[in-house]
């Protein structure tokens, strides 16, 4: 089996790496926060000392980092992946970053004989733990076929969308839909609560109809509990919507609803809720309406 390096062991990266270890792959792992490596090392992974070190010991390198600058630094910077990678190495960036950044990094990697895929994910921490993520892949089809089985150990839905950058375009589309779904759910349930109708019963009444969605099923039960422990933090959704707005503006595409939800997210960040789960969007509406959906 291929030797895999995994860089970035946060809320998503750690369980994704754990699933690869469970599948029998030999992993070398690295994170700038050293204690994040502990559980994986106990599970059988080798500890890397830098991104360069991980790449030097791996045939396939996976990065799972917060945003474009972090991926650039880990791949292109001093002590980065490209300093340690051999020709023929495959780099899979599973971070959610700007599509143009993916293309820029891929071009630099190609100059050194390293093939790259952008393969962002959707599903949050629960699906990362279960190994049932949706994985959206951009890059050469031949490279994709080489690593499809590895990706399938982390996700149930693995789809090549197109050339490099396409995976992140698909992820931006996903993040727009998710954010707007949560905002719509929040508006509706705050309205029901203010009107004196039990929001849990409204949820049960509508979830099997056209308004039902994976987002509604995932986020409404948590909102009813007042549980905003992060599966996907508001500050990260701000990053994704910012990338969506930038990309849309570059392409001349109007995205007015994305602009509105961005301001809601920014208001929550200003209110000290940046580390809440994005399901916490409902708190914005609760505050305005002076009502709480949860008991």
Catalytic residue among 14, 52, 171, 219: 171
d(CA 87, CA 69): 24
219 among known catalytic residues = no
How far apart are the C-alpha atoms of 262 and 63, rounded to whole Å?
26
Q: Which residues are part of the catalytic machinery?
A: 171
């Amino acid at each position: 089996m291929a030797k895999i390096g995994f860089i970035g062991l946060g809320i998503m990266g750690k369980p994704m790496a754990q699933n690869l270890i469970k599948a029998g792959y030999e992993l070398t792992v690295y994170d700038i926060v050293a204690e994040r490596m502990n559980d994986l090392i106990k599970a059988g992974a080798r500890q890397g000392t830098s991104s360069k070190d991980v790449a030097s010991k791996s045939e396939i390198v996976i990065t799972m980092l917060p945003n474009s600058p972090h991926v650039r630094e880990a791949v292109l910077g001093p002590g980065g992946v490209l300093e340690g990678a051999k020709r023929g190495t495959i780099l899979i960036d599973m971070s959610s970053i700007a599509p143009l950044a993916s293309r820029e990094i891929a071009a630099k990697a190609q100059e050194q004989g390293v093939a790259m895929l952008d393969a962002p994910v959707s599903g949050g921490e629960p699906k990362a733990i279960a190994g049932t993520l949706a994985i959206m892949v951009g890059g050469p089809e031949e490279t994709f076929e080489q690593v499809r089985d590895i990706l399938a150990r982390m996700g149930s839905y693995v789809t090549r969308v197109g050339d490099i950058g396409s995976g992140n375009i698909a992820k931006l589309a996903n993040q727009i839909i998710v954010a707007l779904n949560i905002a719509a759910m929040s508006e509706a349930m705050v309205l029901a609560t203010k009107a004196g109708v039990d929001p849990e019963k409204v949820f049960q009444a509508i979830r099997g109809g056209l308004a039902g969605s994976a987002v509604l099923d995932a986020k409404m039960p948590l909102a009813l509990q007042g549980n905003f422990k992060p599966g996907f933090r508001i500050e990260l959704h701000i990053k994704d919507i910012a990338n969506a707005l930038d990309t849309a503006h570059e392409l001349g595409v109007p995205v007015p609803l994305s602009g509105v939800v961005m301001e809601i997210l920014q208001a929550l960040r200003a209110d000290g809720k940046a580390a809440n789960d994005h399901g916490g969007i409902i708190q914005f509406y609760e505050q305005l309406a002076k009502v709480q959906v949860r008991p």
